[in-house]
Amino acid sequence: MHLQPGLYRHYKGPQYRVFGVARHSETEEEVVCYQALYGEFGLWVRPLSMFLESVEVDGERVPRFALVEAEPSLFDPPGDVIA
């Protein structure tokens, strides 16, 4: 599954920068690599399925993380490579 890199807001309010989706070396589970944009600016991973799920807040289903602003991927191969 493709997840757009960029700025995301957690349902509790803080913002995070998503770098992309990686694969666990043992289980091959897809995990999202992201950074907190507050505090110590820690790097985190979370299973993709959990990142994309909805949670219930005050009786309403909302996304756990909502895209605020898309950004280009740091990991896409460059366009025209001159060797």
Q: Which sequence spans correspond to the domains of the chain? A: 6-70
- CA of 69: how far to CAs of 8, 12, 14, 24, in Å? 7, 17, 14, 26
Q: Which residues contact 79 (CB under 8 A, 6 or more apart)?
A: none
Please tell me the pTM assigned to this model: 0.86
pLDDT at position 62 is 97
pLDDT at position 49 is 96
pLDDT at 66 over 80: yes
pLDDT at 2 over 80: no
Cα–Cα distance for residue pair 42/62, rounded to 1 Å: 24
> Per CATH, the architecture of 6-70 is what?
Roll (2.30)
For residues 29-34, average pLDDT: 97
pLDDT at 41 over 70: yes
pLDDT at 29 over 50: yes
Closest-CA residue to 8 (of 72, 69, 73, 53): 69
